[in-house]
Amino acid sequence: MTVDDGQPWAEGPLGQPLRKALGTRTANALAKLGLETVGDLVDHVPRRYDEPGRLTDLRSLQIGEHVTVLARVRSATVTRMRSRAGAMLHAVVTDGAGELDLTFFAKGQGGLRHHEHQLAAGRTGLFTGTVSVYRGRRQLTHPQYQVFGADTGVDEAEAALEDASRPIPIYPAGASVPSWQIHKAVQTVLGPLREDDVPDPLPLTLRERRHLSTRLEALRDVHLPAADEDWRRGRRRLRFEEAFVLQTALAQRRAAVAREPATARPLRAPGTPSLLADFDAALPFDLTAGQRAVGEQLAHDLAADRPMQRLLQGEVGSGKTVVALRAMLQVVDAGGQAALLAPTEVLAAQHARSLRSLLGPLAEGGLLGGAEHGTRVALLTGSLGAAARKQALLDAASGSAGIVVGTHALLGEHVQFADLGLVVVDEQHRFGVEQRDALRAKGDRQAHVLVMTATPIPRTVAMTVFGDLETSTLTEVPAGRSGVVTHVVPASNPTWVARTWQRVREEVDASHRAYVVAPRIHPDDAPAGGRADAASALVETDDVLEFLVEPEDGGERAPLRAVLEVVEELRGTPALAGVPVGVLHGQLPPADKERAMADFASGRTPVLVSTTVVEVGVDVAEATVMVVLDADRFGISQLHQLRGRVGRGSAPGLCLLVSDAEPGTPARERLDALASTSDGFELARRDLELRREGDVLGAAQSGRASSLRLLRVLTDAELIADARTEATAVVGQDPDLLTYPALAAAIAERLDPEREEFLERA
């Protein structure tokens, strides 16, 4: 190992700069792909594999076939073309029995000099390309080729021949380096590597038990496969490694938090006055069996002196909020405080409102007429007036507010709690691990943490994205719900559209309410949930949700419907004559948002036109209709959430997806899928299949390890589960990975940069 250039020896050959291994020119080209070291290059795994050209003799060539032929050059001539500028090289090759033409074009004769030199008459070589026909003769245009020199031995030629029958790796390439050149470079650096040079994050025993190859073997398999089964085996082994490294990091995180002391917040003894008991007594419904079971699990977790770290996921409308509230009350009963973090101001305000109303006099602790063991609910959002903000901060810091509800404003440094015992993160998908940490760290001891997901997610996604949490699931929705019927409405059919507003009218006449959702606010705006906005989802903006879906056909489409335009239209629609129509979107001042929601809930404006701000968690029992305009521009999960806003009371819900997507297109298939099932887990699975996975993970976990390289959370479900089992065992036995240096190094190397990047953005 050389140390002359100051490279630490410990990095070994993988740390060697490509400049040294391949020369400056190639290294510079590869640097444009972000590849600096030998290690970077060998980790640059082929995207896919082309089938090798079929070795064949020249007489049996089929037009259109992709072939590789072994032949000798009979002649090669360069001619200037008469018809257009440029030059052409025309070569004839033969295998003794048949003949084949090769043609190359270039701007000038200079551009052909290299080929002319290579294809000297008499030389033998391998030529790969697709057979075409010109003037009755078979030819390959711009074939790839490799010619052997006069001194090429028989062995070498045979090796080349064998090479030509291998799968051809196709690399993620750029303009500066074509795929074949990357392949050559990988071959050069991979050749001299020995087992000791390539640290393997997979422990030896694990590898043996699972019959997995070494990392070096896997790299050879994916870069230099002799047959398809080689690269398949190699890729599988690298995927397992990726899952294992990620799961080990998550297991370490779980273990580290579990080692921290937390304050136990046990249930009050039966018979003693308690907020929780009073709350339960006042609940207007019975808890479902699932709610009770999860409730017991949470009560048990909270009574322990190590921090709870739990993910609660469940079908839309399964009643997650009540479960969370009961956990919060248990903590307040035990003398602590609870914080409830909501993704939007609308939702935070709604939570505060419903908490206060459910608690009644119990929420007037310390006030005249308030219950003696009562507490207070404080609301803290970014846009509070100075006085209200000061009061909320004071209530949190003094402990007089047992429950503090807020948006991410709660994460601010100046927000202090007297004794924070539980953090509940509602509708998790917009809060990342780091934000959870920020809240957790608000006390001098670890707070218990409960995270709730907005949408059901497949188990392995939960395992990957929220792998540091234990999971509880609510599968049933409370009895007595009549469910939601979903229809797709063709936007181009005036009769259907008129019928839509007629249905809205009928519901309003029956004292029900209707939501109308459009993808953007102003007619001349970009979509409210556009990609650019998504990156700033951590900034408080109520409209930003998941990405809007790009239209697949890329063709011209009618402009997207806008909230402000739709309001005007509805106010002039005969079917809705006399019906007050409200407006809600993220750009409204907070007081207006509050009023819009309150007026809708009370029925003063029974129709509400809004952006997706109503997507998560908004709860108005009388709402029965959800009309989504340009529905094909929303993701499946998002539409499922929107639909979950209706049919929450005893009256059946109706969801109308208005779209001009043609039947049979992927966009329309998404909508048909929604109309055909109400199983959120099933829909989440289809959603993942249809979207680019990176987007899903990226959005869901706010940057953490979002760039899964080879792993696919859906198709690799079993592998991820296995990796998690193995990782948990390894961490249980050696939490700091002292005996697994290669694994520790892989975690530091692969996962940390993304974390840092996230922190910079936040």
Contact set with Mg ion (CB under 5 A): 321, 617
Q: How far apart are CA 584 and CA 581, in angstroms?
A: 10
- Pairing type for strands 48-50 and 168-170 reads antiparallel
Distances in whole angstroms, Cα of residue 262 to Cα of each of 69, 258, 323, 326, 570: 72, 9, 21, 19, 54
Output the CA torsion 347→349→355→361 (10° steps).
-170
648 binds, among Mg ion, ligand ADP, none (CB under 5 to 8 A by kind): ligand ADP
319 binds, among ligand ADP, Mg ion, none (CB under 5 to 8 A by kind): ligand ADP
> Which position among 101, 163, 619, 722 is part of the footprint of ligand ADP (CB under 6 A)?
619
Nearer to ligand ADP, 245 or 477 (CB): 477
Give residues with Cβ within 8 angstroms of 300, minimum separation 6. none
Of 593, 633, 623, nearest to 610 (Cα)? 593
Nearer to ligand ADP, 640 or 691 (CB): 640
Place of tokens 């934000």: 435
Place of tokens 């939007």: 344
Residues from 643 through 662 that contact ligand ADP (CB under 6 A): 644, 648
In 491-539, which ranges are E strands? Answer: 513-517
Least distance in angstroms from the C-beta of 608 to ligand ADP: 17
Least distance in angstroms from the C-beta of 429 to Mg ion: 12
CB 406 within 8 A of CB 432: no
Nearer to Mg ion, 617 or 647 (CB): 617
Instruction: Give the binding range for ligand ADP (CB under 6 A) out of 51-59, 218-226, 295-303, 615-623.
Output: 615-623
Q: How far apart are CA 306 and CA 655, in angstroms?
A: 44
Instruction: Give the binding range for ligand ADP (CB under 6 A) out of 280-288, 547-555, 592-600, 699-707.
Output: 280-288
- 3-state DSSP call for residue 658? strand
Q: How far apart are CA 642 and CA 545, in angstroms?
A: 12
Nearer to Mg ion, 200 or 615 (CB): 615
Least distance in angstroms from the C-beta of 246 to ligand ADP: 28
Backbone angles phi, psi at 85, to 5 degrees: -65, 145
Least distance in angstroms from the C-beta of 406 to Mg ion: 16
Verify binding: residue 98, ligand ADP, rule CB under 6 A.
no
Of 533, 563, 548, 555, nearest to 632 (Cα)? 548
- 3-state DSSP call for residue 201? coil
Residues from 304 through 333 that contact ligand ADP (CB under 6 A): 314, 316-322
Nearer to ligand ADP, 139 or 350 (CB): 350
Least distance in angstroms from the C-beta of 597 to Mg ion: 15
Nearer to Mg ion, 519 or 617 (CB): 617
Verify binding: residue 285, ligand ADP, rule CB under 6 A.
yes
Residue nearest to Mg ion (CB): 617
Give residues with Cβ within 8 angstroms of 663, minimum separation 6. none
Nearer to ligand ADP, 322 or 489 (CB): 322
Nearer to ligand ADP, 581 or 620 (CB): 620
Instruction: Give the binding range for ligand ADP (CB under 6 A) out of 93-101, 156-164, 530-538, 614-622.
Output: 614-622
Residue type, 335: G
Least distance in angstroms from the C-beta of 753 to ligand ADP: 35
CB 502 within 8 A of CB 348: no
Instruction: Give the binding range for ligand ADP (CB under 6 A) out of 160-168, 436-444, 510-518, 617-625.
Output: 617-625
Nearer to Mg ion, 168 or 618 (CB): 618
Nearer to Mg ion, 70 or 327 (CB): 327
Give residues with Cβ within 8 angstroms of 532, minimum separation 6. 526
> Which position among 478, 530, 580, 735 is part of the footprint of ligand ADP (CB under 6 A)?
478
Q: How far is CA 330 from the centre of its chain?
A: 34
Give 53-58 contacts, CB < 8 A, sequence gap 24+: 53/128, 53/129, 53/164, 55/161, 55/164, 55/165, 57/95, 57/97, 57/98, 58/93, 58/94, 58/95, 58/97, 58/98, 58/99, 58/100, 58/138
Nearer to ligand ADP, 453 or 706 (CB): 453
Least distance in angstroms from the C-beta of 308 to ligand ADP: 19
443 binds, among ligand ADP, Mg ion, none (CB under 5 to 8 A by kind): none
CB 632 within 8 A of CB 558: no
Verify binding: residue 215, ligand ADP, rule CB under 6 A.
no
State the DSSP code for 88.
Answer: E
Verify binding: residue 280, ligand ADP, rule CB under 6 A.
no
Least distance in angstroms from the C-beta of 635 to Mg ion: 18
Where on the chain is the footprint of ligand ADP (CB under 6 A)? 285-288, 291, 314, 316-322, 478, 617, 619, 621, 644, 648
